[in-house]
Amino acid sequence: MSIPDTVLTRQEADLLIITINRPARRNCVDREAAVALYEAFKAFDADGSLSVAILTGAEGNFCAGADLQAVASGKGNPVRPDGDMGPMGPTRLELSKPVIAAVEGYAVAGGLELALWCDLRVASDSARFGVFCRRFGVPLIDGGTIRLPRLIGASRAMDLVLTGREVGPDEALAIGLANYAAPAGKALDRAIQLASDIAAFPQTCLRADRLSAMRQWSLDMDAALKAEVEGGLDVLKSGETLKGATAFTKGKGRHGTF
């Protein structure tokens, strides 16, 4: 009997769906899976035929974090203060294209950190978020203490970091931890629909705006404004804006239609 791949990929048009495939461990990520996720997202970013990636988990759970059984046996995920590979795999990569998390079941501990790394999160009715590693003395070392406050604010993030409590889908939507809702079992379907909508936009402009919004965190206002303009000028030079403006004069995209 062959051993199933820990990470599966499939392409639908210009979308790439990446699935953590360790359902017996609630899709916990061990060293092998971390490397596979890292390589999958590097390949996605380098592939000019792909516009949006979706990260999900197999059989009802997104990811329950790092594999603590592997940690306990001395075979935990790689933890380094530098480099572009994080303990969960891709979480230190700055991709040029967006990633959407399709969350069913548990997205906790390192799984929460994976979801936070994504640009958007679709949460099904079964989704459960939380810093569950609080219970076991396992630190957030893959961006959780940075991305969580930036995403939902310092006060709410501190609550989750200190208490390790569970956050259901309704609260996740209310505090901005999740962006979109879906019925149980339908998070991936909703994410594919959302990704298709995003992929239909002019991509040079979309990626420039996305990159500016990501990089401004480390810049002061003057530097951020300068970087925004420089990225916008590159879009103007590409001809994409002229093409869009010409389409607008012919009636395309008016009155809120896309």
Around Cβ 34, how many Cβ atoms within 10 Å? Answer: 26
pTM to 2 decimal places: 0.94
Per DSSP, the three-state class of 85 is coil
Q: Give the angle subtended at the CA of 145 by the CAs of 27 and 161, to the nearest 5°.
A: 80
pLDDT in tens, 176-196: 999 999 999 999 999 999 999
The identity of residue 201, as a single letter, is F
pLDDT in tens, 117-135: 999 999 999 999 999 999 9
Pairing of the two strands 120-124 and 128-130 = unpaired
- pLDDT exceeds 80 at position 3: no
pLDDT in tens, 4-40: 599 999 999 999 999 999 999 999 999 999 999 999 9
Burial class for 111, CB neighbours closer than 10 Å (0-12, 13-18, 19+): buried
Under a CB-based contact definition with an 8 Å cutoff, are residues 60 and 23 in contact?
A: yes
Strands laid side by side in the 52-57 sheet: 7-12, 15-20, 52-57, 99-103, 120-124, 180-182
DSSP for residue 241:
H
